[in-house]
Amino acid sequence: MAEFTMELNDEQKEVRDWLHGFAADVIRPAAAEWDEREETPWPVIQEAAKVGIYSLDFYAQQYFDATGLGIPMAMEELFWGDAGIALSIVGTGLAAVGVLANGTEEQIGTWIPQMYGEPNDVKVAAFCSSEPDAGSDVASMRTRAVYDEAKDEWVINGTKTWVTNGGIANVHVVVASVDPGLGSKGHASFIVPPGTPGLTQGQKFKKHGIRASHTAEVVLDGVRVPGSCLLGGKEKLDERLARAREKARKGGDRVKNAAMATFEASRPAVGAMAVGTARAAYEVALDYARTREQFGRPIIDNQGVAFQLADMRTQIDAARLLVWRASWMAVNGRPFEAAEGSMSKLFASETAKKVTAQAIQILGGNGYTREYPVERMHRDAAIYTIFEGTSEIQRLVISRTISGMPIR
């Protein structure tokens, strides 16, 4: 088990500096254009693929970093560049992790390469979980998968929403209910191969922020996939369902808490994204306050501005520490006895919203225009308190964990 540390090692520093350079030289110069266009920044994704950032190998190296700091470090630097473009670069990773976590070796080897494509012909993948009536309440999922034993096929029907890369993805990973009576324990994940009939893109959302990231509905109407597309295989699914039914008979609340723990472990990565956006806005505000003069002196000489910057820096550093602690705990198998994963996501996301708003205030009228990036950063920051569980859900998880109440 790696010791918890607040100091990156030499190799991690090299990766951090490499990512920072890519974010500064490639992502930032393109940010305003793709935000205005509200389109997937394919040229930037291709550049990321050419240098090795947009690849399974890169994310696997960070994911298996024994210190737990690889993923949060990478997320912070890329999202420091721009949240919308960064989400377009890392969005495929969510689907890839779903296959890595649940798939067989054959499924991993078959489908993950197709998610990324080649540097000269990049592809993206989509992870389809949320639904119009089942966002935070994952147990209410209505998308159904029914096994057709005669043909060894699964038939999937339902609608997914808020899907990053939904409809434009080469490979879709779809979570569906195979046993509604078990709630979230009755879910399974399926690969929907490219060009499968019945899968279509629904509404593409015109968003407040992260506009360079494609977000849409995915409609599944009689989608048929081979039995081999059930992640993990049917034998493993049947065994898991049997165990879940037995546990549900003995104590349903314990089953639900175990399901919530899975989501808890992924939330620090979102916190790291929020830290990156907050840090970017703080740095713009700091530079502006040092150079902008009013009444014959830089505005940072005014206590009202200087104290705001002091609070911003303090909150960003505190958020990063919470993210790093939770990330280290997750990779080392430490239980989140006080919902530390939710704590990190809650504090970092709320910090991003607050810090970006303060940055606009420090820039004054300039901060309210699109001539300066803090306006875009403030719009982007709003998403962190919503996706991967709203701030209200994080508070619910934390409060029920520390009180010992069941998480429903």
**Residues contacting 216, CB < 8 A, separation 6+:** 163, 166, 167, 168, 201, 202, 203, 204, 205
Which residues partner with 171 through β-bridges? Answer: 125
Distance CA 179, CA 39 (A): 37
User: Cα separation of 309 and 159, whole Å?
Assistant: 44
CA distance 193 to 397: 35
- Residues facing residue 175 across a β-bridge: 189
Q: Quick check: is 153 catalytic?
A: no
Q: For residue 190, give both structure tokens.
A: 């399926």
Burial level of 297, CB count in 10 A (0-12/13-18/19+)? exposed
For residue 189, give the 3-state DSSP assignment. strand
**Beta strands of 180-309 (E only): which ranges?**
187-192, 199-204, 215-226, 293-294, 297-298
Helix (H) or strand (E) holding 33: helix 28-37
Tokens (6 digits) for 151: 């043909």
Put residue 233 in one of left, alpha, beta given phi > 0 → left and psi -120 to 50 → alpha: left
Which strand (E) or helix (H) includes residue 145?
strand 144-148
Instruction: Quote the distance between the C-alpha of residue 201 and its chain's center.
Output: 21
Neighbours of 353 (CB within 10 A): 19
Active-site hit among 76, 217, 340, 388 = 388
Q: How far apart are CA 233 and CA 57, in angstroms?
A: 25
DSSP 152-182: TEEEEEEEEEEEETTTT-SEEEEEEES-GGG
Interior angle at CA 246, CA 244 and CA 247, nearest 5: 65
Helix (H) or strand (E) segment spanning residue 126: strand 125-128
Asked if residue 76 lies in contact with residue 279, where contact means CB atoms within 8 angstroms, the answer is yes
**For the packed helices 10-22 and 42-51, what is the interaxial angle rounded to 10 degrees?**
150
Catalytic residue numbers read 388
